[in-house]
Amino acid sequence: MVYAIFRNKYSADFHTAAHELNAFLGALNTVILLISSATAAMSITAVQKGNKKLALWLVGITIFMAFLFLINKYFEWGHKIHLGIYPGSELLLKMEQGELLFFGLYYFMTGLHVFHIIVGMIILTVVMVKIKSESINAHDFVLLENGALYWHLVDLIWIFLFPLLYLIT
């Protein structure tokens, strides 16, 4: 909502600022999240079919992908901060109003998303432990289903964040 209004008001500044973002890293993270979402969905199939080993592998891959996403984000943010673009930095305060707003929204929206990723990783780790101890099995897999649902939500949010922040140049 806030994004929509400021984008409307300062569209030129938003364009300049979005050029600063690395669309390649963003695209890579999109691919990573889509794959992790697919493995999360397939892990439900595996548990339903009683294939415990495969289910563990699939949830494990999902968590690993989430980890890759975070590493990617670390380098992306690290580069921005290296360039002097971080909340409250001098360079940022000298920029146009719209660019300032864009980076503010960028850090807020991606930051909140990263927080969800970390929460998702914790949930999926719990799920993995429970699959291992067989308290999640072919007859009772509600926790896995909800964990996967949460993970798809995180993916869903990124599907919208990616074009809004990275591709609007």
CA-closest candidate to residue 109, choices 137, 93, 87:
87
- Going from the C-alpha of 110 to that of each of 11, 46, 114, 138, the distances in angstroms are 20, 32, 6, 36
Q: Which is nearer to other proteins, 4 or 93 (CB)?
A: 4
Smallest distance, Å, CB 112 to other proteins? Answer: 17
Region of 88-96, 98-106, 108-116, 145-153 interacting with other proteins (CB under 8 A):
145-153
**Residue 30 makes contact with other proteins by CB under 8 A:** yes
Smallest distance, Å, CB 50 to other proteins? Answer: 9
What is the maximum span of the chain, computed from C-alpha positions, in angstroms?
Answer: 60
Smallest distance, Å, CB 88 to other proteins? Answer: 27
**Residue 99 makes contact with other proteins by CB under 8 A:** no
Using CB under 8 A, list all residues that contact other proteins: 1, 4-5, 8, 23, 27, 30-31, 34-35, 37-38, 40-42, 44-45, 48-49, 51, 54, 57-58, 145, 148-149, 152, 155-156, 159-160, 162-164, 167-169
